[in-house]
């Protein structure tokens, strides 16, 4: 009887492992990536960062510092800016596939916009994706995806 139970358990576990699913563990997750941005006349390489806390399959305290591309309708100038959220009190539970999505209105440096965030543990590598749409007179948009690791704070 024990042999049958072990065989049944291995049949249930092996398909998930072979699909490349990542098992999320509690803790702080974070990542960074390099990008090129033009904040003034000069363009250069800069770093974007993102992090979140995971406890009991609930995503909490999401934070990020990402570059958004802006266009000022009055001056007709294009430029890049950082959009930074240091602490987000929103929480979202990972679904059965290991994905949590939420949307919220956030403000950074007097720019207010809609931010959609996705934490995804469904593949072989966990990711954090941030998508922003900001402004009226100054229109800014951005989309960044980070590969995240447990215990890595940017």
Span 63-99, pLDDT tens digits: 999 999 999 888 888 999 999 988 777 789 999 999 9
Cα-to-chain-centroid distance, residue 137:
27
* pLDDT above 70 coverage of the chain, percent: 83
Question: Is residue 7 in some structural domain?
Answer: no
Question: Is residue 9 in some structural domain?
Answer: no
Cα-to-chain-centroid distance, residue 8:
36
Average pLDDT, the chain: 83
Q: For residue 135, what are the domain limits? A: 23-150
Main-chain phi, psi angles of 8, to 5 degrees: -65, -40
Question: Is residue 5 in some structural domain?
Answer: no
Question: Is residue 46 in some structural domain?
Answer: yes
Q: What is this structure's pTM?
A: 0.79
- pLDDT category, 13, cuts 50, 70, 90? very low
| Number of domains within the chain | 1
Question: Is residue 16 in some structural domain?
Answer: no
Residue 28: which residues within 8 A CB-CB, separation 6 or more? 51, 52, 53, 54, 150, 151, 152, 153
Quote the pLDDT of residue 120.
96
Question: Is residue 124 in some structural domain?
Answer: yes
pLDDT single digits (tens) 17-65? 445 566 789 999 999 999 999 987 788 999 999 999 999 999 999 999 9
Question: Is residue 8 in some structural domain?
Answer: no
């Amino acid at each position: 009887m024990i042999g049958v139970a072990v065989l049944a358990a291995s049949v249930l576990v092996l398909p998930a492992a072979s699909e490349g699913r990542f098992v999320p563990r509690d803790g702080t997750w974070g990542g960074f990536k390099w990008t090129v941005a033009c904040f003034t006349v000069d363009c250069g390489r800069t770093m974007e960062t993102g992090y979140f806390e995971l406890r009991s399959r609930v995503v909490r305290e999401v934070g990020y510092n990402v570059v958004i591309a802006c266009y000022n309708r009055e001056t007709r100038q294009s430029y890049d800016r950082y959009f930074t959220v240091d602490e987000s009190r929103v929480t979202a539970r990972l679904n059965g596939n290991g994905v949590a999505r939420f949307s919220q209105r956030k403000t950074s440096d007097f720019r207010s916009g809609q931010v959609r965030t996705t934490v995804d543990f469904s593949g072989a590598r966990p990711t954090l994706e941030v998508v922003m749409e900001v402004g009226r007179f100054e229109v800014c948009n951005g989309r960044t995806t980070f590969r995240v690791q447990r215990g890595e704070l940017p």
